């Protein structure tokens, strides 16, 4: 396994497998560490009672972990931001919540990669060995 990491941002559970399943499998097979970040909760696909959406999210999360496990991804490398499904655009113009969350994920990812590789990282965005 090499130390290179690939970050995949996806709207909700199953899009990463449907759209990039083969790519993810090839990346893992080639030794890359794959990190997947889900932006929404995926609840819009559920037609049941609103009070059951938390259970539905838990089920979809488990299915995502299982599917990515089949592709070779470690479940500890999945992040679920849980923005409301089909309402992501509402967050973009107001307070930049989506952008702030994605920025936090990228900062976390860079810090994690740097720690893994034994590199230091300054908040200004510069990497140094």
- Which candidate, 118, 126, 102, 124, places its Cα nearest to that of 35? 102
Domain annotation for the chain: domains and CATH numbers: 5-128 (3.40.50.10320)
The percent of residues above 90 in pLDDT, for the chain, comes to 18
How many whole angstroms separate alpha carbon 113 and alpha carbon 42?
Answer: 28
Q: Could you tell me the two tokens for 116?
A: 């893994």
Task: Could you list the beta-strand ranges (E) of the chain.
Answer: 5-10, 33-40, 78-83, 120-121, 127-128
Higher-pLDDT residue of 16 and 54 is 16
pLDDT digits (tens, 9 = 90+) for 26-47: 999 999 888 888 888 877 666 6
User: Tokens 């097979």 map to which residue?
Assistant: 29
């Amino acid at each position: 396994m090499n130390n290179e990491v690939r970050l995949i941002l996806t709207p909700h559970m199953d899009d990463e497998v449907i759209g990039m399943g083969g790519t993810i499998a090839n990346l893992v097979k080639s030794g890359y560490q794959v990190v997947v970040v889900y932006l929404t909760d995926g609840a819009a696909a559920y037609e049941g009672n609103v009070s059951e959406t938390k259970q539905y999210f838990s089920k979809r999360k488990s299915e995502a972990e299982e599917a990515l496990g089949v592709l070779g991804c470690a479940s500890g490398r999945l992040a679920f931001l849980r923005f409301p499904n089909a309402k992501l655009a509402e967050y973009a113009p107001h307070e930049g919540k989506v952008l702030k969350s994605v920025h936090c994920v990228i900062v976390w990812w860079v810090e994690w990669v740097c720690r893994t590789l034994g590199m230091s990282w300054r908040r200004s965005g510069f990497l140094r060995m």
